[in-house]
């Protein structure tokens, strides 16, 4: 019998029979959670969780072979409209499109980029001007006012495809763990530049000659990288800064959107790999750690971390967001392995 991690004595969840898969989430203006499903299944593309009643409502868009169309990234814009990346097949397979959802009416519309622009990838974010950025080979952006896509090709092939964000000035940022490069897309001038990240500190000093030869042979793939890589992964923005996680570097980076100067914040505990992050209305950065059943808050001004334990084993929380509408900010995560939405409330 499958178990979902609620009973600590049973260890981490088994995750069978399609019980796992919740990935990203966002909170609408009524406080309800909308959550994507990132694994192949026949039941839902995404789900709405009514936080007052606990009722979960599945939304299913049909895909080939009896599957539901897969989703992964989700966000909401300044008008409360929800945006989801939608794949043509189950899971994260096939070409991607953007789904626009009005949470008040629950009506949705799908927008697909022209074939020559590639695809809408796994991550979706909104910039300060209301445009919707998505990962691609580089980055792709959708302007809801014109209903037009624009594509930004990376300078170094393979950069992008994983993390993406739009900053307060209306420009895009993108990365992927297999390359220590962060791309920057200037929306107005249509230029693309890149920031090359230095090697993870301390690793080269302890690497042997055999290690270095192995690095050269092994190289990197889309989501894996060899030491001493930083491995930039998911991204977020707030004010004058863009943030990204360094999955292998076990740190968080912050870049000034105008000077492109980068600074680093080490993870609060040893052997923790940050994944997704978001800044709240007070400028605090909240970070998800999938390889540990914890969530942490970083105060950038003091560089102080506060760590909170989650009450389940094997949560594998791959996304984090906040509800800024409350006097005391509420923090939400999606538990990939336990198929739960996690809400942190503070006295």
Q: How many CB atoms lie within 10 A of CB 63?
A: 21
List all residues 6 or more positions away from 2 whose beta carbon is below 8 Å from its beta carbon: 13, 14, 15, 16, 17, 19
Question: How far apart, in Å, are the Cα atoms of 212 and each of 219, 228, 248?
Answer: 11, 10, 17
Which of 209, 183, 208 lies closest to 197 in space, CA to CA?
A: 183
Looking up tokens 């796994």 gives 122
Looking up tokens 């693309």 gives 192
Which of 270, 182, 279 lies closest to 231 in space, CA to CA?
A: 182
Q: What is the 3-state secondary structure (H, E, C) of the chain?
A: CCCCCCCHHHCCCCCCCCCCCEEEEEECCCCCEEEEECCCCCCCCEEEECCCCCCEEEECCECHHHCECCEEEEEECCCCCEEEEEECCCCCCCCEEEEEEECCCCEEEEECCCHHHCCCCCCEEECCCCCEEEEECEEEEEECCCCEEEEECCCCCCCCCCEEEECCCCCEEEEECCEEEEEEEECCCCEEEEEECCCCCCHHHHCCHHHHHHHHHHCCCCCCCCCCCCCEEEEEEECCEEEEEECCCCEEEEEECCCCCEEEEECCCCCCCCCCEEECCCCCEEEEECCCCEEEEEECCCCEEEEEECCCCCCCEEEEEEECCCCCCEEEEEECCCCEEEEECCC
Task: Report the distance separating Cα 136 and Cα 145, nearest Å.
Answer: 21
Q: How confident is the model at residue 22, as a pLDDT?
A: 92
pLDDT tens-place values along the chain, 347 residues long: 556 566 667 666 665 444 578 999 999 999 999 999 989 999 999 999 999 999 999 999 999 999 999 999 999 999 999 999 999 999 999 999 999 999 999 999 999 999 999 899 999 999 999 999 999 999 999 999 999 999 999 999 989 999 999 999 999 999 999 899 999 999 999 999 999 999 888 888 888 999 888 877 877 777 777 778 899 999 999 999 999 999 999 999 999 999 999 999 999 999 899 999 999 999 999 999 998 999 999 999 999 999 999 988 888 999 999 999 999 999 999 999 888 899 999 98
Q: How confident is the model at residue 217, as a pLDDT?
A: 81
Q: How confident is the model at residue 17, as a pLDDT?
A: 42
Q: Give the gyration radius of the chain's Cα atoms.
A: 19
b/e string for 140-170 if b means 16 or more Cβ within 10 A? bbbebeeeebbbbbbeeeebbbbbbbbbeeb
Q: How confident is the model at residue 184, as a pLDDT?
A: 98
Task: Report the distance separating Cα 264 and Cα 182, nearest Å.
Answer: 14
Which of 98, 257, 297 lies closest to 168 in space, CA to CA?
A: 257
List all residues 6 or more positions away from 305 whose beta carbon is below 8 Å from its beta carbon: 268, 296, 297, 298, 299
Residues in the chain: 347
Q: How confident is the model at residue 2, as a pLDDT?
A: 59
Backbone dihedral angles phi then psi of residue 85, each to the nearest 5 degrees: -85, 135
């Amino acid at each position: 019998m499958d178990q979902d991690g609620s009973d600590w004595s049973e260890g981490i969840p088994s995750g069978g029979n399609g019980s796992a898969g919740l990935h990203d989430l966002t909170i609408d203006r009524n406080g309800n959670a909308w959550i994507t499903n990132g694994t192949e299944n026949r039941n839902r593309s995404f789900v709405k969780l009514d936080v007052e009643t606990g009722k979960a409502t599945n939304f299913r868009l049909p895909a080939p072979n009896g599957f539901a169309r897969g989703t992964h990234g989700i966000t909401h814009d300044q008008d409360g409209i929800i945006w989801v990346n939608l794949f043509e097949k189950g899971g994260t397979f096939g070409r991607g499109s953007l789904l626009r959802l009005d949470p008040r009416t629950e009506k949705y519309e799908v927008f697909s980029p022209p074939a020559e622009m590639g695809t809408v990838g796994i991550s979706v974010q909104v910039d300060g001007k209301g445009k919707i950025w998505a990962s691609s080979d580089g980055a792709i952006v959708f302007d809801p006012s014109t209903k037009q896509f624009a594509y930004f090709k990376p300078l170094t092939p393979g950069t992008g495809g994983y993390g993406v964000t739009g900053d307060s000035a209306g420009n895009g940022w993108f990365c992927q763990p297999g390359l220590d490069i962060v791309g920057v897309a200037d929306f107005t001038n249509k230029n693309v530049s890149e920031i090359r990240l230095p090697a993870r500190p301390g690793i080269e000093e302890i690497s042997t000659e055999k290690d270095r030869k192995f690095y050269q042979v092994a190289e990197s793939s889309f989501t894996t990288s060899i030491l001493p890589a930083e491995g930039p992964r998911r991204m977020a923005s707030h004010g004058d800064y863009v943030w990204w996680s360094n999955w292998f570097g076990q740190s968080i980076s912050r870049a000034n959107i105008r000077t492109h100067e980068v600074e680093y914040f080490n993870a609060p505990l040893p052997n923790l790999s940050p994944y997704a992050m978001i800044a709240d209305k007070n400028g605090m950065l909240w970070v998800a750690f999938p390889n540990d059943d914890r969530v942490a808050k970083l105060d950038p001004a003091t560089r102080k971390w506060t760590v909170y334990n989650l009450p389940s084993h094997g949560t594998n929380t791959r996304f984090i967001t906040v509800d800024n509408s409350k006097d005391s900010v509420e923090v939400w995560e999606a538990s990939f392995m336990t198929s739960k939405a996690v809400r942190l409330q503070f006295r």
